[in-house]
Structure 1
Amino acid sequence: MGYLKRGSKISAVAGGGSAALFYYVYKELPGNPVLASSIGIVGSAALTGMMGSRYLRTRKVVPAGVVSMVSLVMTGAYLHGIIRSS
Protein backbone atom coordinates (compact mmCIF):
# COMPACT_ATOMS: atom_id res chain seq x y z
CA MET A 1 0.00 0.00 0.00
CA GLY A 2 2.88 2.37 0.70
CA TYR A 3 4.03 1.95 -2.86
CA LEU A 4 0.55 2.48 -4.30
CA LYS A 5 -0.24 5.52 -2.14
CA ARG A 6 3.09 7.36 -2.19
CA GLY A 7 5.32 5.50 -4.62
CA SER A 8 7.58 4.20 -1.84
CA LYS A 9 9.93 1.66 -3.40
CA ILE A 10 11.22 0.70 0.05
CA SER A 11 7.69 -0.34 1.04
CA ALA A 12 7.36 -2.44 -2.10
CA VAL A 13 10.69 -4.20 -1.52
CA ALA A 14 10.03 -4.75 2.20
CA GLY A 15 6.50 -6.03 1.60
CA GLY A 16 7.57 -8.28 -1.24
CA GLY A 17 10.51 -9.61 0.74
CA SER A 18 8.33 -10.34 3.75
CA ALA A 19 5.74 -12.05 1.57
CA ALA A 20 8.42 -14.19 -0.10
CA LEU A 21 9.92 -15.16 3.26
CA PHE A 22 6.59 -16.17 4.77
CA TYR A 23 5.57 -18.02 1.60
CA TYR A 24 8.76 -20.05 1.90
CA VAL A 25 7.93 -20.76 5.56
CA TYR A 26 4.41 -21.82 4.56
CA LYS A 27 5.71 -24.24 1.91
CA GLU A 28 8.46 -25.63 4.18
CA LEU A 29 6.33 -26.18 7.32
CA PRO A 30 4.92 -29.63 6.46
CA GLY A 31 8.31 -31.15 5.61
CA ASN A 32 10.64 -29.40 8.04
CA PRO A 33 8.64 -27.68 10.80
CA VAL A 34 11.58 -26.75 13.05
CA LEU A 35 13.53 -25.01 10.27
CA ALA A 36 10.43 -23.28 8.92
CA SER A 37 9.33 -22.14 12.37
CA SER A 38 12.83 -20.88 13.14
CA ILE A 39 12.84 -18.76 9.98
CA GLY A 40 9.28 -17.64 10.69
CA ILE A 41 10.07 -16.56 14.24
CA VAL A 42 12.97 -14.41 13.03
CA GLY A 43 10.82 -12.76 10.36
CA SER A 44 7.88 -12.22 12.70
CA ALA A 45 10.06 -10.83 15.47
CA ALA A 46 11.67 -8.42 13.00
CA LEU A 47 8.25 -7.24 11.79
CA THR A 48 7.07 -6.88 15.39
CA GLY A 49 10.06 -4.71 16.21
CA MET A 50 9.94 -2.53 13.10
CA MET A 51 6.20 -1.99 12.98
CA GLY A 52 5.91 -1.75 16.77
CA SER A 53 8.44 1.10 16.83
CA ARG A 54 6.60 2.78 13.95
CA TYR A 55 3.33 2.47 15.87
CA LEU A 56 4.89 3.99 18.99
CA ARG A 57 6.26 6.86 16.92
CA THR A 58 3.12 7.62 14.87
CA ARG A 59 0.30 6.15 17.02
CA LYS A 60 -1.40 5.01 13.80
CA VAL A 61 -3.25 1.76 14.31
CA VAL A 62 -3.42 1.01 10.59
CA PRO A 63 -1.12 -0.43 9.35
CA ALA A 64 1.63 -0.27 12.00
CA GLY A 65 -0.44 -1.29 15.04
CA VAL A 66 -2.25 -4.10 13.26
CA VAL A 67 0.88 -5.55 11.65
CA SER A 68 2.84 -5.39 14.90
CA MET A 69 0.08 -7.20 16.83
CA VAL A 70 -0.37 -9.91 14.18
CA SER A 71 3.41 -10.37 14.01
CA LEU A 72 3.61 -10.66 17.79
CA VAL A 73 0.94 -13.38 17.76
CA MET A 74 2.73 -15.20 14.94
CA THR A 75 6.04 -15.00 16.82
CA GLY A 76 4.32 -16.84 19.67
CA ALA A 77 2.80 -19.34 17.25
CA TYR A 78 6.17 -20.13 15.66
CA LEU A 79 7.74 -20.47 19.12
CA HIS A 80 4.97 -22.88 20.07
CA GLY A 81 5.63 -24.84 16.88
CA ILE A 82 9.33 -25.13 17.66
CA ILE A 83 8.66 -26.30 21.22
CA ARG A 84 6.04 -28.79 20.07
CA SER A 85 8.23 -30.23 17.30
CA SER A 86 11.31 -30.66 19.47
Structure 2
Amino acid sequence: MEDFYVTIPYGVAVLGGGVAGYLKRGSKASLAAGAGFGGALILAGALSAWAFARGHSGNLFATVLQTVCAVALTVVMGIRYIKTRKVMPAGIIATISALVLIFYVYKISNGGNKVYVPVSAA
Protein backbone atom coordinates (compact mmCIF):
# COMPACT_ATOMS: atom_id res chain seq x y z
CA MET A 1 0.00 0.00 0.00
CA GLU A 2 1.32 3.43 -0.91
CA ASP A 3 1.94 5.90 1.88
CA PHE A 4 -0.26 8.66 0.48
CA TYR A 5 -3.33 6.52 1.19
CA VAL A 6 -2.46 6.95 4.88
CA THR A 7 -0.77 10.35 4.87
CA ILE A 8 -3.53 12.43 3.27
CA PRO A 9 -6.35 11.24 5.59
CA TYR A 10 -3.98 11.55 8.56
CA GLY A 11 -3.20 15.13 7.56
CA VAL A 12 -6.88 15.95 7.12
CA ALA A 13 -7.62 14.50 10.58
CA VAL A 14 -4.84 16.54 12.19
CA LEU A 15 -5.99 19.69 10.41
CA GLY A 16 -9.60 19.00 11.41
CA GLY A 17 -8.54 18.46 15.01
CA GLY A 18 -6.79 21.82 15.06
CA VAL A 19 -9.85 23.57 13.66
CA ALA A 20 -12.11 21.75 16.13
CA GLY A 21 -9.86 22.79 19.03
CA TYR A 22 -10.08 26.38 17.90
CA LEU A 23 -13.85 26.33 17.46
CA LYS A 24 -14.53 24.53 20.74
CA ARG A 25 -12.03 26.22 23.04
CA GLY A 26 -10.81 29.21 21.06
CA SER A 27 -7.30 27.74 21.10
CA LYS A 28 -5.09 29.52 18.59
CA ALA A 29 -2.29 27.10 19.45
CA SER A 30 -4.47 24.15 18.38
CA LEU A 31 -5.35 25.91 15.16
CA ALA A 32 -1.71 26.76 14.39
CA ALA A 33 -0.43 23.27 15.23
CA GLY A 34 -3.27 21.57 13.37
CA ALA A 35 -2.82 23.76 10.32
CA GLY A 36 0.96 23.41 10.37
CA PHE A 37 1.18 19.68 10.87
CA GLY A 38 -1.96 18.90 8.88
CA GLY A 39 -0.83 21.06 5.98
CA ALA A 40 2.63 19.51 6.01
CA LEU A 41 1.16 16.01 6.01
CA ILE A 42 -1.25 16.82 3.18
CA LEU A 43 1.66 18.28 1.21
CA ALA A 44 3.76 15.16 1.85
CA GLY A 45 0.87 12.95 0.75
CA ALA A 46 0.36 14.99 -2.42
CA LEU A 47 4.09 14.82 -3.25
CA SER A 48 4.06 11.08 -2.68
CA ALA A 49 0.97 10.64 -4.89
CA TRP A 50 2.59 12.79 -7.58
CA ALA A 51 5.76 10.68 -7.49
CA PHE A 52 3.72 7.47 -7.62
CA ALA A 53 1.81 8.74 -10.66
CA ARG A 54 5.15 9.20 -12.40
CA GLY A 55 6.33 5.66 -11.72
CA HIS A 56 8.16 6.05 -8.40
CA SER A 57 7.13 4.31 -5.21
CA GLY A 58 7.90 7.36 -3.08
CA ASN A 59 9.43 10.80 -2.71
CA LEU A 60 12.34 11.21 -0.30
CA PHE A 61 11.29 14.68 0.89
CA ALA A 62 7.72 13.45 1.46
CA THR A 63 8.96 10.41 3.36
CA VAL A 64 11.15 12.52 5.65
CA LEU A 65 8.44 15.16 6.17
CA GLN A 66 5.68 12.71 7.05
CA THR A 67 7.95 10.69 9.33
CA VAL A 68 9.15 13.79 11.20
CA CYS A 69 5.54 14.99 11.63
CA ALA A 70 4.44 11.59 12.94
CA VAL A 71 7.36 11.42 15.40
CA ALA A 72 6.71 14.96 16.65
CA LEU A 73 2.99 14.39 17.10
CA THR A 74 3.53 11.03 18.82
CA VAL A 75 6.02 12.51 21.29
CA VAL A 76 4.31 15.84 21.99
CA MET A 77 0.79 14.47 22.26
CA GLY A 78 2.04 11.41 24.16
CA ILE A 79 3.66 13.65 26.76
CA ARG A 80 0.51 15.77 26.93
CA TYR A 81 -1.60 12.63 27.46
CA ILE A 82 0.70 11.40 30.23
CA LYS A 83 0.47 14.77 31.99
CA THR A 84 -3.29 15.33 31.61
CA ARG A 85 -4.69 11.81 31.14
CA LYS A 86 -7.15 13.34 28.67
CA VAL A 87 -7.98 10.93 25.88
CA MET A 88 -9.35 13.71 23.69
CA PRO A 89 -7.40 15.05 21.86
CA ALA A 90 -3.96 14.08 23.20
CA GLY A 91 -4.48 10.34 23.63
CA ILE A 92 -6.20 9.90 20.29
CA ILE A 93 -3.67 11.91 18.28
CA ALA A 94 -0.75 10.22 20.05
CA THR A 95 -2.18 6.77 19.31
CA ILE A 96 -3.02 7.51 15.68
CA SER A 97 0.39 9.12 15.18
CA ALA A 98 2.17 6.13 16.71
CA LEU A 99 0.27 3.73 14.44
CA VAL A 100 1.01 5.85 11.37
CA LEU A 101 4.67 6.05 12.42
CA ILE A 102 4.83 2.26 12.60
CA PHE A 103 3.43 2.13 9.06
CA TYR A 104 6.04 4.64 7.82
CA VAL A 105 8.92 2.74 9.44
CA TYR A 106 7.62 -0.51 7.93
CA LYS A 107 7.34 1.15 4.52
CA ILE A 108 10.85 2.62 4.74
CA SER A 109 12.38 -0.66 5.92
CA ASN A 110 10.90 -2.43 2.90
CA GLY A 111 12.46 -0.07 0.36
CA GLY A 112 9.68 2.49 0.08
CA ASN A 113 11.68 4.89 -2.12
CA LYS A 114 12.71 2.60 -4.94
CA VAL A 115 12.00 3.61 -8.50
CA TYR A 116 9.37 1.54 -10.24
CA VAL A 117 10.14 0.88 -13.89
CA PRO A 118 7.17 -0.53 -15.78
CA VAL A 119 7.88 -3.44 -18.07
CA SER A 120 6.83 -2.61 -21.60
CA ALA A 121 4.95 -5.21 -23.57
CA ALA A 122 7.10 -5.76 -26.63
**Fold in common (TM above 0.5):** yes
Q: Secondary structure at the match of 1:29?
A: helix
Where does residue 11 of structure 1 map in the other structure?
A: 30
2-structure distance, mates of 1:78, 1:25: 12
Of the three residues 77, 82, 85, the one matched with 2:108 is: 82
Task: Give, in angstroms, the shift of residue 8 of structure 1.
Answer: 1.2
- Structure 1 stretches lacking a partner, 5+ long: none
Q: CA RMSD in A?
A: 1.4
Query: Mean alpha-carbon deviation: is it higher for 1-10 or for 28-37?
Result: 28-37
1:57 aligns with 2:83: yes
Of the three residues 38, 58, 69, the one matched with 2:64 is: 38
- Structure 2 stretches lacking a partner, 5+ long: 1-19, 52-57, 114-122
Identify the structure with the greater helix proportion. Answer: 1
Where does residue 29 of structure 1 map in the other structure?
A: 48
Contact 1:49-1:68 at 8 Å conserved across structures: yes
Percent identity over the alignment is 36
User: What's the TM-score, normalizing by structure 2?
Assistant: 0.65
Task: Give, in angstroms, the shift of residue 54 of structure 1.
Answer: 0.7
Task: Give, in angstroms, the shift of residue 33 of structure 1.
Answer: 3.3
Task: Give the number of aligned pairs.
Answer: 86
Stretches (4+) displaced over 4 A: none
